Structure 1
Amino acid sequence: MTSAVAGSAAGGTTGPGRGGAAGRRALLAATAGGIVESFDWTLYAVLAPYFAVQLFPHDDPVTAVLGAYLGFAVGFIVRPFGSYVMGRISDARGRRFGLMLGMALTSVTSVLVAVVPTAGVIGVGAPVLLVLLRLVQGVSMGGANSSAAAYVAETAPRRMRFVYSAISYSGVVVGNILSFGVLTVLLATLGTGGVTAGGWRIGFLVAAVLGLTALWIRRGAEESGEFTEQRASGAARTGAGRRALYRAQVRNSVAVFLTTFGVTVGYYFGTTYLPQYAHQLGVVSDTESAVSMLLPLLVLIGAMVGVGWVGDRLGALRTLRAGLGALAVGTVPLMLALAHRALPMWLVTLVYLVLIAAPLGLVNVLFAGLFPVAVRVVAMGVPSMVATGLFGGTFPLLAQALGRAGQLSLVPVWAAGAAAVSFGATFLIRLPKGRREGGGR
């Protein structure tokens, strides 16, 4: 019997949509990478209030935090570029190669972030170095999500495509759980002062160790059979052929961009900024807000898998619309209940994360299924990363600025409006001929 590693080395592939042991290994590879990438990316946001005073010199701590969040947003600026570059690599060299390259870059930059000297040592060089490393991470992660989505779409069993979609994207949620878990442990053991004084570096070292583990797992995965068949056929091998395929997908690319708008805002509000939002409202402390995230994030994973099961049976597109509609209607009332202490932080977080379960669990594989294999990663990834960079990466910065201006109540209004736009955008989606409503063959 050939092992996964041996199979990969010999050029083994997973059959298109047949699943089995190879499909499960592919799912594990995609999920493990998602854990690390999400952990590393989210960790920056949740630790920003603590390392800001060391790496972003300023007399005003609030301004220093704004600088740190600007560094968070800058990483998103290059993600569309990274989506194109890494996507072209994945579309040309294979899903497995692209996934391994991205994970290697993520692991190296995590180590380097952990050892960046403070501003007290190198002055403005500290934020400059940090921002440069975030740019590298942005390039790496720009193609990570779309490469993983294409990989899962091409290897999942046809009747479990959206369950696999939800499980693979749950790695992103697990990464969030780990990031808040690490923050909770650091605060409990070192205290706020200890984390601010340098304990935050431990989190990025943990990210590097997790990255090496995920790289080892991805090394044992096999190439997508659907990709191998497409490459053997020579489809879209020329630049003109690729450009023709891109032009034929303009409508779906616009739909992906607009749908991602509400999904990414809801995601970063619910999984990254909500503790800081609650803290600014004065309803919880730093430690309480971090702890209150853990149970809801666990529930979110179960909700995503459940939504994936529904999507496989009732259709992913209509299930997605129902989820986005509920998110648009429910966001503002939930946050008003939190602000007026009518509901506790943990319950508000729980309900909000359940509302975003449908978009998070379905969009990756749904989007991947809209585009031809030869250009799938780029055609899906670029519009989604542009939207993520414009609206997701800037969300903490926007929310922080609104809070400082005394307009914190506008934050949930923005999130609800974004969800409403995305709901409308789903009606632009046109499924490829020969595919059923859920996007499968």
Structure 2
Amino acid sequence: MTDGSAVIPLRERSEVGGRRRELAAATVGSVVESFDWNIYAVLAPYFAADLFGHGKHGVGGVLGAYAVFAVGFVARPVGSYLIGRLSDTRGRRFALSLGMAVIAAAGLGIAAVPGRAAIGAWAAVLAVAARLVQGFAFGGEAPSVAAYVTETAPPRHRFAFSSVSYGGVVLGSLLSFGVLALLLRTIGTSGLENGGWRWGFVVAGLLGLAAVWVRRRAPESAEFRRARSHAAAGGRPSFPRTLRTHRWAALTVFLTTLGGTVGYYFALVYLPQYAAAYHVIDKESAASFMTAVLGVVLVTMLLTGAAADRFGLLPVARIGFGLPVPLVGLLLAGLRQGWLPFQVVAVLLGMLVATVLGTLNVFTGLLFPTEVRAVGLGVVNAATIAAFGGTFPLLAEWLADRDLLGVIPWYVTVCTAGPALALLTATRVPGFAAAVTKGATVSGCSPGSD
């Protein structure tokens, strides 16, 4: 019997092995970003009264908590621009380390916010401030990760690296539900509502500090170093000029992000609340099952990335980006009417989201040239997430409070058509078709105008 690794050329195995630190630096940040952001969402029903007080029928406090969840996204475009500029000038590693340090500090800050009973309305003010700081840092995190992975992944395994790095987002969500399940098991609902929720944010802060240590040990992107020397000679374009020059790339990022962020926050964060509203399953049981769903999502993402490396991005994306459009509404109708159980719907919706997310880091990274990659990708990405992803739980709760939950399947379906349309707009980006061809180098996307 021979070692299966022997079929991989020695040079290629050495290349993959030499990139593990870069992949770890990208992935660990994605884990922490997702965990920090989603631990707030899953714990919101438990700390809402503590920080935001009680509203009519107990809804007001939850709405306040979700409103702050949405407010945190407001700072993302600003962070994308400022940290993205640092990423495009000072380096990917510098931006990744700085952003993660801020994220960790803000997470620990939320854990330390006194309750409303102690300081009144200042509890909500401090929570808003901490979420704005986190949003600022998160705005620069995702595009810097996408740029770093695009520039450091081995050409023949770049979509596998993309799926692993974006898989960190799923791992972070998995951990957030896991921590919630652990806290429910150990201290119960009453314990969470009486201050036990703070432990979730303590874990978030400690994970962030560990991520900073990993990133400080990672090397800088060689492609970035080459681009910086050219930029030093010719200068860098302004952001408005970047958007004008790369308008088709910006539109493609908007469309892919629209489908990805709405699909993610509905299928992997809000779905337990949605199912509980229709009395299909209780909220706690649904939240506990999401750990299994996220495991399936992670495997699907890894398989999607491997398939894109094997068969090419475009054939895989045409299937993965197109399937959610007809299936999301059908699955949700089955859930509401009782002929599909929650567990089946949750798994299938998660897999549909995974087929979009699996290749997204490199897919969007290849749309922009190296010298403007982080800021060009980042601002469009962050603005779209702020407008559509961050507002989704708040929108859903608002609709539920007005007995309009039936609108949600239509809204989600329209948004998930975005990635399918993005395959058309991406063809208008010069050099993109060549860049995504199997075996092309990651620098294959032309820096010319759109």
- The TM tier, using the shorter chain, reads over 0.9
Choose the corresponding residue for 1:27, options 16, 23, 27: 23
Check the 8 A contact 2:239/2:376 in 1, yes or no. Answer: no
Q: Which amino acid aligns with 1:211?
A: G
What SS is found at the alignment partner of 1:76? coil
Letter in 1 for 2:347: L
CA distance in 2, matches of 1:99, 1:145: 9
Unaligned ranges ≥5, structure 1: 1-17
Task: For residue 209 of structure 1, report the CA deviation from its aligned partner.
Answer: 1.1
- 1:305 corresponds in structure 2 to 302
Q: Give yes or no for the alignment of 1:435 onto 2:435.
A: yes
- Identify the match of residue 41 of structure 1 among 37, 43, 61: 37
Corresponding residue for residue 3 of structure 2: none
CA contact (8 A) 1:431 1:437 kept: no
Amino acid at match of 1:425: A
Range with greater deviation from structure 2 (230-239 or 204-213) = 230-239
Give the structure-2-normalised TM-score.
0.91
Confirm or deny: 8 A CA contact 2:87 2:144 kept in the other structure: yes
- Deviation larger for 229-238 or 345-354: 229-238
Query: 1:246 offset after TM fit, Å?
Result: 4.1
User: Are 1:225 and 2:222 an aligned pair?
Assistant: yes
1:193 aligns with 2:190: yes
Aligned counterparts of 2:274 and 2:234: Cα–Cα separation in 1: 49
**TM-score (norm. length: structure 1):** 0.93
The amino acid of 1:73's aligned partner reads A
Q: Distance in 1 between matches of 2:354 and 2:238?
A: 37
Moved more, 149-158 or 324-333: 324-333
Cα deviation 1:182-237 (Å, max 9, x = unaligned)? 11111111111111111100000011111111111111100000001111233675
CA–CA distance in structure 2, aligned partners of residues 385 and 317 of structure 1: 25
CA shift in 2, pair 1:87/1:138, >3 Å: same
Alpha carbons of structure 1 residues 346 and 318: separation in structure 2 relative to 1, 3 Å:
same
What is the percent sequence identity of the aligned residues?
A: 46
The residue correspondences of 1:256-295 to structure 2 (distance < 5 A) are 256-295=253-292
Shift of 1:241: 6.9
> Structure 1 CA distance, aligned partners of 2:95 and 2:309?
28
Alignment of 1:22-101 (within 5 A): 22-60=18-56, 61-101=58-98
Amino acid at match of 2:286: S
Indicate the residue corresponding to 2:416 in structure 1.
419
CA RMSD of aligned residues (A): 1.8
Q: Provide the C-alpha distance between the structure 2 equivalents of 1:129 and 1:358, rounded to a whole number of angstroms.
A: 38
Q: Deviations over 1:75-118 (max 9, x none)?
A: 11111111111100111110001000011001101111001011
- Counterpart of 2:160? 163
Whether the 8 Å CA contact 2:149–2:361 is kept in 1: the answer is no
Q: Which runs of 5+ in 2 are unaligned?
A: 1-13, 445-450
Question: What's the CA shift for 1:245?
Answer: 4.4
CA deviation after TM superposition for structure 1 residue 435, in Å: 2.3
Secondary structure of 2:200 counterpart: helix
Determine the structure 1 residue equivalent to 2:107. Answer: 110
The 3-state SS of whatever aligns with 2:19 is helix
- The DSSP-based 3-state class of the residue aligned with 1:292 is helix
In structure 1, how many angstroms separate the alpha carbons of the residues matched to 2:105 and 2:321? Answer: 37
What is the aligned partner in structure 1 of residue 8 from structure 2?
Answer: none
**Would you say how many aligned residue pairs link Structure 1 and Structure 2?**
425
Residue type of the partner of 2:29?
Answer: G
Q: Which amino acid aligns with 1:165?
A: S
